[in-house]
Amino acid sequence: MTTSDAPDTHTPRDFQSLPLRQPLLRNLEDLGYTRLTEIQAAALPAIVAGKDVIGQAKTGSGKTVAFGLGLLHKLRVGQFRVQSLVLCPTRELADQVARELRKLARAIHNIKILTLCGGMPFGPQIGSLKHGAHIVVGTPGRIEDHLRKGNLDLGTVETLVLDEADRMLDMGFQAVLDQILAELPRQRQTLLFSATYPQTIDALADRVLRDPVKVEVAAAHTRNTIEQRYYRVENNEARPAALYQLLADCDASSALVFCNTRKETEEAAQTLKRAGFAALALHGDMEQKDRDRTLALFANGSASILVATDVAARGLDIEELPLVVNYHLSRDPEVHVHRIGRTGRAGQKGAALSLVGKKEIYKLERLEALMQQPITLREVPSLPGGFAPPRPVMTTLQIDGGKKQKVRAGDVVGALTGEGGIDGSQIGKIQLFDFSTFVAVERVVAKKALGKLAHGKLKGRKFRARIVGV
């Protein structure tokens, strides 16, 4: 196995120096993609050369662009068959990857990228498969379902991507992955990306990759981008009050709180809600429609705090996140590094705070060994006088119509800003799903915006709309 910890002096530093197809390079320039990230600089030459690659890098490192450009560079549009398969642990991550691939591919016409995920109706996916695709992005369970029913043929796949492979194994997809691998040609390129590299990943890589190039970029976060602080708590009963005090002390506009179990997630979120915070829980036992709504509310600023398990938080696409809090330390120190990598992205400043109980000292020692520096425990700051949790600036409206009803973001903006409507600057994120649309508006104009939707039309027809509470 060849290993590269970071690009050397001979590694390409800009996209235009890579031997990529000209339409891809022109599109990258139009997108404003100039300098390569570390993972892209280290991995892309090997990917384009057709080698198997293991990439270990934190969230936000640019790995999707790295493997996406590799897939698109070798894709032959005239051969209308499944040439690449990308497996992701969650629907959110699969959707995010598919969006990025379509953006990268927009200069090459007639490329079809199909998303196959659980939690979505089966019938329309069968119809899409009958029309064929060049690239399939999906979750292991749904891909295996289509294989078992004979809807999907992977016999022509030339490149397999295992994205967030560690989470797929954590979620129990090993057996399903084996079934999918059995349907793939033995002669293929395999790209495996993982935020952490436990023994289970090592074993999987040994089985499915051939003489891979291993690319690892720095796992530790520099002090000038993420400030890490650790706080002592006496016992589990003291954690809820300590969490409240940390959030009050930081006064962050948005925070992601990590818990180790579904039960802790629900309890912590409920405690914060009772205290007046706009908090939501996210865990693996939720129905897909509830997950969609929760993620939309947090991403668009209608909820200030998201309390989540590690698996549920994969695939979150939050551009700016000033604060991460560890309600408990993770059992795996590398998962801890991945958690705090949610903040301080794209050069932004961030803070990562951790509560540490007496029974977690051994976890702290593991972290010190990984980070190669001592960790000092602080006392939880006292509650600021007269503190009241701030209300989010935005509120979300849910419209009972989406992509399947041909609703587009422009239609929503037009309906809200028409005669007697709200100003366009008061509209935030608009997220379109198959049968619903979420639009964020400033809280002060929420009722006015709802009235415009209730009495107006989208696509020439009326849709029900409502304010989604937190």
Domain extents in the chain: 2-216, 226-379, 394-468
Phi then psi for residue 339, to 5 deg, are -60, -50
Q: 3-class secondary structure for the chain?
A: CEEECCCCCCCCCEHHHCCCCHHHHHHHHHHCCCECCHHHHHHHHHHHCCCCEEEECCCCCCHHHHHHHHHHHHCCCCCCCCCEEEECCCHHHHHHHHHHHHHHCCCCCCCCEEEECCCCCHHHHHHHHHCCCCEEEECHHHHHHHHHCCCCCCCCCCEEEECCHHHHHHCCCHHHHHHHHCCCCCCCEEEEEECCCCHHHHHHHHHHCCCCEEEECCCCCCCCCEEEEEEECCCHHHHHHHHHHHHHHHCCCCEEEEECCHHHHHHHHHHHHHCCCCEEEECCCCCHHHHHHHHHHHHCCCCCEEEEEHHHHCCCCCCCCCEEEECCCCCCHHHHHHHHCCCCHHHCCEEEEEEECHHHHHHHHHHHHHHCCCCCEEECCCCCCCCCCCCCCEEEEEECCCHHHCCCHHHHHHHHHCCCCCCHHHEEEEEECCCCEEEEEEHHHHHHHHHHHHHCCECCECCCEEEECC
User: What tokens appear for 343 in the block?
Assistant: 């903040």
As a whole number of angstroms, the distance between CA 97 and CA 86 comes to: 9
Question: Given this chain, do its domains 2-216 and 394-468 carry the same CATH topology?
Answer: no
Please give the backbone phi and psi of residue 328, each rounded to the nearest 5 degrees, phi first.
-125, 150
Distance (Å, whole) CA 190 – CA 95: 21
What does the pLDDT average to over 191-206? 86
Whether residue 54 contacts residue 42, with contact meaning beta carbons closer than 8 Å, is answered with no
Looking at domain 2-216, does it have CATH number 3.40.50.300?
Answer: yes
**Residue 378 Cα distances to 5, 59, 141, 386, 427, angstroms:** 33, 28, 44, 23, 41
What is the crossing angle of helices 140-148 and 174-181, to 10°?
50
pLDDT of residue 147: 95
Share of the chain above pLDDT 70, in %: 93
Alpha-carbon distances, residue 414 vs 32, 107, 410 (angstroms): 29, 28, 6
Strand order in the sheet with 279-282: 279-282, 305-309, 255-259, 323-326, 350-356, 226-232, 377-379
- 314-348: pLDDT as tens digits: 666 666 788 999 999 998 888 888 888 878 765 56
Q: If we measure between CA atoms, which residue out of 376, 304, 310 comes closest to residue 337?
A: 310
CATH topology of domain 226-379: Rossmann fold (3.40.50)
- The CATH number given to 394-468 is 3.30.70.330
Distance (Å, whole) CA 456 – CA 467: 16
Is the predicted pLDDT of residue 5 greater than 50, yes or no? Answer: no
Q: What is the pLDDT of residues 390-441, one digit of tens each?
A: 899 999 999 999 988 988 888 888 889 878 888 888 999 888 888 999 999 9
User: Tens of pLDDT along 228-267?
Assistant: 999 999 999 999 999 999 999 988 788 999 999 999 999 9
Q: Which among 429, 374, 349, 421 is positioned nearest to 397, based on CA atoms?
A: 429
Backbone phi, psi, residue 133, to 5°:
-160, 155
pLDDT band for position 75 (50/70/90)? Answer: very high
Q: Tokens for 128?
A: 């899409």
- pLDDT band of residue 8 (cuts 50, 70, 90) is very low
* Mean local confidence (pLDDT), 81-104: 92
State how far the alpha carbon of 249 is from the alpha carbons of 111, 126, 252, 314, 328, in Å: 50, 52, 9, 27, 19
- With 50 as the cut, is the pLDDT of residue 9 above it? no
Residue 4: pLDDT band (50, 70, 90) is very low
